[in-house]
């Protein structure tokens, strides 16, 4: 039998259902940290099955930070209006917008980084890596490692979630898919900062 207090704590920390939390604790011998990992992995597996489903509903949400000198607008899709109107979905959308305001991603994901931008970054990283004297396969491995770091810094889905750096935004999306039972997609976003160069806003708005 699972300790009711542990089940309650696990539900509060993960947002998962009662029976899922109970099963996770039973599977992990009552270890709450392992239970959280168990639920996360289960959620990711469940999310993968829903990823191909149409997500044509959702919300366009705007977020203003502080005194209104920084703002974000994002379109985040789900499958039905029913889920779009839930507090869980609205809170998730707001969290994503707050993250964008704080982390300032340039692109939605590494898959949509323009080839020209990717080639320029790879060339820059190669020049930097050559200064260490490395050559051949070792040099290429260093460049690829630094390129992954570039994706983590520049691409929304690959960034660490500012409210919980143990997960990426992509993992956060998958957790919400598992929790809400529908496919969820961050479609596009724009981040506006007072006085910024116009090109920055235009570049963000193409991330979809």
Q: What is the DSSP string of 45-89?
A: HHHHHHTTS---EEEEEEEEETTTTEEEEEEEEES-HHHHTSHHH
Task: Residue 14: give its domain's CATH number.
Answer: 1.10.8.10
Q: Is 158 helix (H, G, I), strand (E, B) or coil?
A: helix
194 and 164 within one domain: yes
Query: Between residues 90 and 141, which one has the greater pLDDT?
Result: 90
105 and 160 within one domain: yes
35 and 9 within one domain: yes
- The secondary element (H helix, E strand) that includes residue 8 is helix 4-14
The tokens of 82 are what? 């029913």
Give CA–CA dist 203/191, Å, rounded. Answer: 10
19 and 104 within one domain: no
28 and 88 within one domain: no
Q: Checking DSSP bridges between strand 70-78 and strand 185-193, what pairing results, if any?
A: antiparallel
- Please report the pLDDT score of residue 131 as a whole number: 79
160 and 144 within one domain: no
Q: Does residue 205 carry a pLDDT above 50?
A: no
- Overall number of domains in the chain: 3
Provide the whole-model pTM. Answer: 0.70
Q: Give 183-199 pLDDT, tens digit per residue.
A: 999 999 999 998 877 65
Q: Does residue 1 carry a pLDDT above 60?
A: no
- The secondary element (H helix, E strand) that includes residue 165 is strand 164-168
Q: Does residue 202 carry a pLDDT above 90?
A: no
Query: Between residues 36 and 64, which one has the greater pLDDT?
Result: 64
Asked if 58 and 77 count as a contact pair (C-beta separation under 8 A), the reply is: yes
147 and 164 within one domain: no
- Please report the pLDDT score of residue 198 as a whole number: 63
Q: Which of 10, 53, 60 lies closest to 31 in space, CA to CA?
A: 10
Q: Does residue 208 carry a pLDDT above 50?
A: no
The tokens of 160 are what? 């660490």
Q: Does residue 37 carry a pLDDT above 90?
A: no
Domain enclosing residue 61, as ranges: 57-109+155-205
Asked if 16 and 39 count as a contact pair (C-beta separation under 8 A), the reply is: yes
- Please report the pLDDT score of residue 181 as a whole number: 84
64 and 104 within one domain: yes
100 and 69 within one domain: yes
Q: What are phi and psi of 87, to 5 degrees?
A: -65, -35
- 119: Cβ contacts below 8 Å, ≥ 6 apart: none
Number of neighbours of residue 131 by Cβ within 10 angstroms: 7
- Please report the pLDDT score of residue 2 as a whole number: 59
87 and 8 within one domain: no
Rg (alpha carbons) of the chain, rounded to whole number: 20
Q: Give 100-137 pLDDT, tens digit per residue.
A: 999 999 999 999 999 998 889 888 888 888 877 777 78
139 and 76 within one domain: no
92 and 161 within one domain: yes
Give CA–CA dist 106/197, Å, rounded. Answer: 13
Task: Residue 167: give its domain's CATH number.
Answer: 3.30.479.20
- Please report the pLDDT score of residue 90 as a whole number: 97
């Amino acid at each position: 039998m699972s300790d009711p207090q542990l089940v309650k704590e696990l539900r509060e920390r993960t947002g998962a259902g009662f029976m899922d939390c109970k099963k996770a604790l039973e599977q992990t011998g009552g270890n709450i940290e392992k239970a959280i990992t168990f639920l996360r992995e289960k959620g990711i597996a469940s999310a993968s099955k829903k990823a191909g489903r149409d997500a044509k509903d959702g919300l366009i949400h705007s977020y203003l930070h502080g005194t209104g000198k920084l703002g974000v607008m994002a379109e985040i899709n789900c499958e039905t209006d029913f889920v779009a109107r839930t507090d869980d979905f609205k809170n998730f959308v707001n969290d994503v917008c707050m993250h964008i305001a704080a982390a300032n991603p340039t692109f939605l994901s590494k898959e949509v980084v323009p080839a020209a931008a990717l080639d320029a970054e790879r060339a820059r990283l190669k020049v930097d890596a050559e200064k260490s004297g490395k050559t051949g396969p070792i040099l290429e491995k260093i460049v690829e490692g630094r390129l992954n770091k570039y994706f983590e810094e520049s691409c929304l889905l690959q960034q660490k979630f500012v409210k919980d750096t143990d997960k990426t935004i992509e993992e956060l999306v998958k957790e919400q898919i598992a929790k809400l039972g529908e496919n969820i997609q961050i479609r596009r976003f724009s981040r506006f900062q007072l006085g910024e160069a116009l090109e920055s806003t235009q570049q963000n708005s193409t991330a979809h």
